[in-house]
Amino acid sequence: MKLSSAWSATRILLLLCTFRVIPLPGADVTVDVTVIYQGWYGVFRTGTFPMDDVTWQYPPGAALAILAPGLLPFLSYTAAFIVLCLAADALVTGMLARRSRRAAWYWVWAVPLVGPTAYARYDIFVSAVAVAALLLPRLRGPLIAFGAVLKIWPALLLAGVRSKAVWLSTAVTGALLLAVFAVTTPGSLAFLTFQRDRGTEVESLGALPLHFARRFGWWDGEVKLNYGSIEFLGPWVDTISTLSLGLTAVAFGWLLLWRLRTRIVAGDERVVFDAAFAAVLLFTVTSRVISPQYLVWLVALAAVCLTLTDSKMVRATRILLVATAFTQLEFPTYFSEIMGSEWIGIVLIVTRNGLLVWATLSACRVLWEASKAGATAAPEPAAGARTEVGAPLG
């Protein structure tokens, strides 16, 4: 099967599921677009941020993603948003295909495994910017900054970057973008407070002991919508949230230690790709929230790693692919069972999160072994060159 044919067939099916022409079990995942995003769209058009809405937990650049459907006024807001997600998906596929068929095939199969959520959140826009930042080194700094102003996590793409010019251009571009938002739009930094006050979401790694405790009758708290996600509220939650933040700090410390002991050679793209993938994995599994759309980020970075013929991240990318399939099962298919801490929901969360931890440990081991070897890789292939032509998961 040709790559273009596979992409077209899977995306038609995904669109049919997203628009619920083919209804899937579970809740309608487009509610975030039809209600929340469209509500924010109306606020942004008045020239301000939703300062009184605690569900607004995004950096100011996210406003651009929310406003983007206005570029297609002949469509409804939801239809325009989904069409733009499809366009971003096609852009990522094209960038990957130009470098590696293996990487492009990985992305083609991974996105449908996320399910309709891939087209019902703006994360695919951010992932497209992140992929471009990694595959277009001359624009890396500004693109990383733009991605971070959209949704923070692309700042982690700097984990393996040695170039001072990239760091400087990232900092300057980011500062300029934030300054423009701060001067022109009230409430652009309100997200910082709302993000700080989040608790432990039911799909996170930290939620697992609460699920078991609740199942056995040892916990008498509650599960409800809080700060835009379904969270545990009650005894132990603050402690577990603090522990999650502590694990994130430990992850940052490990990355710093790795960085200090690794000799990064200028032009060495493997370390840039691998470090970005490992860093985002680390900060995902230690997060107080592991929403299903986070898998879009991860499979995008996994695909970038696979653009290198001798990538050592193949095992981690395959584990991630399985975790992605389980993610669609836990949301939206069995999400009500997860909210109720029923056994099927607990098993799905344990499996999905266990796979993510496994992929993270595998990716971190690759980075650590490379640092022990004293060097990390091959230079970037020539622009436009295909780095491999093997099987989809080769």
Give residue 57's pLDDT: 83
Give residue 197's pLDDT: 58
Kindly report the number of other CB atoms within 10 A of residue 5's CB atom.
9
Give residue 51's pLDDT: 77
CA-atom Rg of the chain in angstroms? 20
Q: What angle do CA 247, 123, 339 make, to 5 degrees?
A: 60
pLDDT band at residue 345 using 50, 70 and 90 as cut-offs: very high
Judged against a pLDDT cut of 80, whether residue 372 lies above it is answered with no
pLDDT digit string (tens) for 234-273? Answer: 999 999 999 999 999 999 999 999 998 887 666 678 999 9
Give residue 194's pLDDT: 53
pLDDT band at residue 375 using 50, 70 and 90 as cut-offs: very low
pLDDT digit string (tens) for 55-76? Answer: 788 999 999 999 999 999 999 9
Give residue 186's pLDDT: 76
The β-bridge relationship of strands 200-201 and 222-226 is: unpaired
Give residue 367's pLDDT: 92
Residue type, 233: L
Give residue 267's pLDDT: 62
Query: For the chain, first and last CA: distance in Å?
Result: 15
Give residue 193's pLDDT: 61
Judged against a pLDDT cut of 60, whether residue 125 lies above it is answered with yes
Kindly report the number of other CB atoms within 10 A of residue 223's CB atom.
20
Kindly report the number of other CB atoms within 10 A of residue 45's CB atom.
11
Give residue 115's pLDDT: 95
Report the DSSP beta bridge partners of residue 232: 200, 223
| Contact (CB, 8 A) for 364 and 282 | yes
Give the global pTM. Answer: 0.92
pLDDT band at residue 322 using 50, 70 and 90 as cut-offs: very high
Q: Both tokens of residue 234?
A: 């009650």
Judged against a pLDDT cut of 90, whether residue 53 lies above it is answered with no
Judged against a pLDDT cut of 80, whether residue 91 lies above it is answered with yes
Q: Residues 135-156: what's their mean pLDDT?
A: 97
37-51, 206-220, 263-277, 312-326: segment of lowest average pLDDT: 263-277
Report the DSSP beta bridge partners of residue 229: 226
DSSP 379: B
| Contact (CB, 8 A) for 291 and 201 | yes
Burial class (CB in 10 A: 0-12, 13-18, 19+), 166: buried
Give residue 34's pLDDT: 96
Judged against a pLDDT cut of 70, whether residue 374 lies above it is answered with no
Give residue 70's pLDDT: 96
Top mean pLDDT of 134-138, 225-229, 380-384 is at 134-138
190 Cβ neighbours under 8 A, 6+ residues apart: 49, 50, 51, 56
CA distance 331 to 115: 9
Judged against a pLDDT cut of 60, whether residue 390 lies above it is answered with no
Q: Residues 302-318: what's their mean pLDDT?
A: 96
Q: Look at residue 362 and give its three-state secondary structure.
A: helix
pLDDT digit string (tens) for 176-205? Answer: 999 999 888 877 776 666 555 567 999 999
Instruction: Tell me if the bond preceding 209 is cis, omega within 30° of 0.
Output: no
List the one residue out of 176, 224, 175, 184 whose CA is nearest residue 200.
224
pLDDT digit string (tens) for 278-301? Answer: 999 999 999 999 999 999 999 999
Q: What angle do CA 227, 232, 233 make, to 5 degrees?
A: 80
Q: Look at residue 366 and give its three-state secondary structure.
A: helix
Give residue 182's pLDDT: 87
Longest pairwise C-alpha distance within the chain: 60
pLDDT digit string (tens) for 198-241? Answer: 679 999 999 999 999 999 999 989 998 887 789 999 999 999 99
CA distance 239 to 236: 5
Percent of the chain predicted with pLDDT > 70: 91
Mean pLDDT of the chain: 90
